[in-house]
Amino acid sequence: MFKKILIANRGEIALRIIRTAKEMGIKTVAVYSTVDKYSLHVYFADEAVCIGPPPSYQSYLNIPNLIAAAEITNADAIHPGYGFLSENAYFSSMCHKHGIKFIGARPSHMIQMGNKISAKKTMEKAGISCLPGSSCFSNASSYREIEYVADKIGYPIIIKAVSGGGGKGIRSVFDKKSLKNSWEEAKKEAWLCFGKKDMYIEKLILNPRHIEIQILGDKYGGAYHLSERDCSIQRRNQKLIEETPSPFLNSSLRKKMGDEAVKAVEFLHYEGIGTIEFLVDQNKNFFFMEMNPRIQVEHPITEEVTGVDLIQEQIFLAYGKKISRKKNFYPKMYSIECRINAEEPYHHFKPIPGKITQMHLPGGKGVRVDTHIYAGYFVTHYYDSMIAKVITTARDRKSTIEKMRRSLEEFVIEGIKTTIPFHRKIMKNNDFLKGNYNTNFLEKKNF
């Protein structure tokens, strides 16, 4: 097994990886920017190395500094967590070049699935249903060509950046009048976020469910899934609440989607863990959306209903372990995750940095809190605004929601504004309680 893992990340995911590594008897190295000097992942790791100033491109995205940190600490593996360089093929290949194991997908799979058009073509070859869409439009493409393709696909459509994620570089278009402005806005955002202006168009499904299947694959061709997560409650194409199992799927559709996800993994000969993501329309037709070749923010709810430590499985698979499980998993428990962000939800979810003066975490049976904050911690504006995840698990959905209500009432953070009050309202909403929601849920409700 690996002797020492460098964690190329920060915050709660860095702490999450440290915990599993310690339980496996593996030493850990934390990296940090100067503004993260007093973060908990720095304190709890066996070693820590400063890799640069606060801006991400000078620290957590600085590949030479990360490789150097691994070399001077004699780390034999790097875990990228999620975000930052977790889907960066060049970083993965540079790790390999320097004799360091990258705990994640192969560079070829990142390239193949990171480009959304390439990913769709691959899934079509695998026999997976995909939405009608265009090929890549470069910055040199004429607007007349874009307009022609949009007419051919038929409105409504959605404009997407070919590379990237996190809900950036995306615009929904409902008629030809708004096409040009939406196209320019999406392209500009894609350039600012990803440094690329390549875009494409896809048919827009109105009021879909966003369902992802947790998959695992080994280097020997073995693959299985750990069922689904419903990620439909979002703001600006970014997830706020996830649950498993989905209240929208029946057993037949759940099995069909799981089988399709495993088929995709086997077709790719994918190694590691990841998710196959689908959009599901109101008639329960599902379409491939994308693949995330990494650990997901919402992975804890799958861990809670399956008993599987996904970080541990990720490490084992990177080391070359053969999958022992023969059957796919269908949960018998329920779990919900609320992402707590340092944001003002009633002012367009504006990030609110600042110092946490007081804090009290919820607890009790079936309650899990993944966080890196503490009283006295300063939430910086340099990074993502998520500061905690509350996960509750129980025998049925009603009990899980009641447990989440109680946990959100117990969760106290003073000094900054957070989304906790917003989550409390959602947990009392009648449509949410009935499972009647989709990706446009927050746009249509007045919370």
- Verify that 195 and 229 share a domain, yes or no: no
pLDDT score, position 197 = 87
User: Of 155, 186, 203, which one is at a domain's C-terminal end?
Assistant: 203
- Verify that 235 and 333 share a domain, yes or no: yes
- Rounded distance between C-alpha atoms, residue 179 and residue 312, angstroms: 46
- Rounded distance between C-alpha atoms, residue 36 and residue 9, angstroms: 11
Ranges 76-90, 319-333, 404-418: which has the least confidence: 319-333
Residue 444 confidence (pLDDT) above 90? no
Round to the nearest angstrom and report the end-to-end CA distance of the chain: 49
How far is CA 23 from each of CA 12, 28, 186, 283, 312, rounded to the nearest angstrom?
17, 11, 44, 45, 9
pLDDT score, position 386 = 97
Strand, helix or coil at 230? strand
State the average pLDDT for the chain. Answer: 94
- Average pLDDT, integer, range 276-285: 95
Residue 116 lies in a domain: no
- Prior bond of 245 cis (ω within 30°): yes
- Verify that 188 and 270 share a domain, yes or no: no
Ranges 118-132, 185-199, 248-262: which has the least confidence: 185-199
Residue 44 confidence (pLDDT) above 80? yes
Residue 110 lies in a domain: no
Domain of 193? 132-203
- Verify that 191 and 299 share a domain, yes or no: no
Other CB atoms within 10 A of residue 23 CB: 11
- Is residue 290 within 8 Å of 112, Cβ to Cβ? no
- Verify that 380 and 323 share a domain, yes or no: yes
- Verify that 421 and 298 share a domain, yes or no: yes
- Rounded distance between C-alpha atoms, residue 27 and residue 98, angstroms: 19
- Please write the tens of the pLDDT for every residue from 79-100: 999 999 999 999 999 999 999 9
- How many domains does the chain divide into? 3
Residue 66 lies in a domain: yes
Residue 416 confidence (pLDDT) above 90? yes
- Please write the tens of the pLDDT for every residue from 127-163: 999 988 888 888 878 889 999 999 999 999 999 998 7
Residue 360's Cβ-count burial label (10 Å; 0-12, 13-18, 19+) is exposed
pLDDT score, position 194 = 82
- Average pLDDT, integer, range 434-447: 87
Residue 179 lies in a domain: yes
Q: Give me the helices (H) in 24-142, please.
A: 40-44, 63-72, 89-97, 107-114, 116-125
Query: What is the set of active-site residues?
Result: 294
- Verify that 319 and 429 share a domain, yes or no: yes
Residue 108 lies in a domain: no
Residue 43 lies in a domain: yes
Q: Where does the pLDDT of residue 195 fall: very low under 50, low under 70, confident under 90, or very high at 90 and above?
A: confident
Ranges 132-141, 159-168, 172-181, 191-200: which has the least confidence: 159-168
- Is residue 395 within 8 Å of 331, Cβ to Cβ? no
Residue 121 lies in a domain: no
- Verify that 266 and 288 share a domain, yes or no: yes
Among 274, 327, 267, 269, CA closest to 302:
274
Encoded amino acid at 370, one letter? D
Residue 166 confidence (pLDDT) above 70? no
- Verify that 360 and 386 share a domain, yes or no: yes
Residue 122 lies in a domain: no
This prediction's pTM? 0.93
Residue 326 confidence (pLDDT) above 80? no
- Rounded distance between C-alpha atoms, residue 333 and residue 365, angstroms: 14
- Rounded distance between C-alpha atoms, residue 30 and residue 15, angstroms: 9
Name the residue with tokens 């969760």: 411
